[in-house]
Structure 1
Amino acid sequence: MAYTTKMAAALSGATVSQLRHWRRETPAGVVLEPEIATSPTALYSFRDVLALRTCVRLRQLSSLQRVRKAIGNLRDLGEREHLSQYKLVSDGTRIQLVTDEDAVDLTGKPGQRQLVVVMGEIVEPFPIRAGVVIPHLFHPNANVEVDPATQGGHPVVRGTRVPYDLVAELVDDGVAPEKISDFYPAVSADAARDAVAFARYVNSYDLPRRAA
């Protein structure tokens, strides 16, 4: 599945502007370069979204400079897997790479091992700013789900293969939620409403248009 910048932002909690900034090369390195494509349009993989959620959580407690430093030191330690394969946590002072047994400090004294308390799983909902909670990655709401094995990971109506945006577009075109089943028998009125709600959430990540 190839996620657009807007969808990657909606599923990860990063803003579109942040994603653009995070894929730029700097002396400290790139935070995350899209796995599928960078030009002419950035396209992110599901693994990228997982990694981005980690970066967003880290940014809640640490500066971007510290996050870049931690990722750079991770690579310097010989860790070359996709960023989503690592569990990175922050206590507000350090960023650590957590393994099954212990943790490796990636910012204070890179390579020094220490015990830490691990943060919650990155797929769970978490607040990102006042009034905004990033939804569960696999279950954004009661009737929308994200499953890499279904439609390539594109969000669908739960229990079906129907993309959420097709349902939302029908409702926007004037089809009542109660009539969506005429087009997609497996989609209930409540599921149609949830598809619309998720579409509005995703669209909230559109960049504001500049005045002409």
Structure 2
Amino acid sequence: MRRGPALRAAGVLDAHRPHGPRHIADNHLSVEVAGRGSVRRRIHPLGAGHGDGWGWAASRHLPVFTAGPPMVPGLRVESVTVVRGRHELRVHRVTGAPAGARVSLTGWATGPGEPLASVLHPLYGFDGEAEAVPAPAGTAYARWARVPRLTGAAGGTSVHVALAVLTAEDAPVPAAEAVSGASVDGASVEVRWAEDGARTRVVFGPCAVEHTAGDAADGAAAR
């Protein structure tokens, strides 16, 4: 089984990214202001940690725009990724976004014929299910590729939560069934995992992640 975190550790991440300056970036949260999408430049680490079978890392960045004014005063993105098995829980908080702003979040790029499935499932703060966006120049492994993308409304302070998966399992559990619930309360996000009822809690300002183990009985009760 190949997973996103395993591919990162193996140094394969860049090879799977779409190539070319006009191509959509994979694994990226972009803030769109007046139709202009942002890119990441300098990233500031906010923390990292791990436990038995899970781990997390967090960072923040100031979105940069390649057209028009390069920055929006006060606009900031904080990002936390919690990895548990093949699942990547992605939690983002956008602050200082002007009215009418939007966000887009992408998952892993994959090409036709690759023995990989890339899934991006919305949990909070997105309009609907992911769409597949083409990357015609492909990656190092494919002549062309597709990237799953979610979109949602922003403005002021907003929180956006999704579950990403990159796997070669023949019959993986659908991402939509991996989480039994997700709730947002101000700067706090809590997700309950369906398999065993474990809970993951992400808190912003300062950034912290708590993971409480569950068991099969808890998971059955949650379902």
| TM-score, normalised via structure 2 length | 0.28
Structure with the greater relative contact order (CA < 8 A, sep ≥ 6): 1 or 2?
2
**Greater strand proportion:** 2
Over alpha carbons, which structure has the higher Rg? Answer: 1
